[in-house]
Amino acid sequence: MYRKINFTVSFTILILYFIYPVFLSSEENLISNPGIENVIATEEAKKLISVEQHQGNILYFGLIPSTMLPREWFPYSGGGYGVWGATDEQAHSGKYSIFLLFKDFQKYQGSDIISLFLHTQQVEVEPDTEYEFSFWIKGNIPIVTIRGFLWNDKNERFFLEGSGLIKELRKDGVVIRGISLRQPVKISANEQWSHYSMLIRINGESKRLQMRIGLDDMNQPLASGNTIYIDDVQLIKKK
């Protein structure tokens, strides 16, 4: 009797071992390089693009590349100075995460400005469909901004925020803001890894989506060296 039960339990465990990963992967992640494990040395990356593209693809004005860069991720700077890239000093899973380090504000007409972002590649999405965008974040920056852009068939770009298309925001599984988030989403990066997710409704005209995570809020204390780390990013179509 004991041997029969033991065999049944072992057989069940064996079946679950092979089947369970299939259940986990049934929802396709549309983000390329979501775990930041596909990295390339910055010097090698420079060889893959032309001199004309170099400024926009790697340096991008005030954002300096670190020694390693994550493939399929890109920087944006509309003001301010920082460093971006892949690092093995922090990771939620695997070996690497992507980071954005603040260095200094930029002076513009007598005022300090900051607009530094990391953004995903553009992803094809289906109109009138809901998607869940999620990621893990860690750091020491009190206000981190999440932005999104949508493109239609005419390649016209629209802001995701302000459209009422962000339906829900959760932190570690708990809803922290309600329906129709019409302002840029603001979260915080603390010493412990936190998981954020948002439900996005794609409107009838949009064909592509791009998400950005970074810094643009002047109403916070920022010191040179303040950093955010991001890992295990997902964009999943909801059924």
**Model pLDDT for residues 42-96, shown as the tens digit of each residue:** 888 776 654 444 444 444 567 888 999 999 998 988 889 999 999 999 999 999 9
Q: Which residue has the higher pLDDT, 26 or 234?
A: 234
Residue 34, helix vs strand vs coil: coil
Q: Given the structure tokens 């064909």, which residue do they identify?
A: 207
Q: What is the pTM of this model?
A: 0.83
The CATH class, in words, for 39-237 is mainly beta
Question: Beta 227-237 vs 157-159: how paired, if at all?
Answer: unpaired
Closest CA to 189 of 230, 236, 221: 230
Report whether pLDDT(182) > 60: yes
> Domain coordinates of the chain in residue numbers?
39-237
Distance CA 172, CA 162 (A): 24
119: how many CB neighbours lie within 10 A of its CB?
17
Asked if 84 contacts 47 with a C-beta cutoff of 8 angstroms, the reply is no
Angle (CA) 94-98-103 rounded to 5° is 145
Q: Letter for the amino acid at 21?
A: P
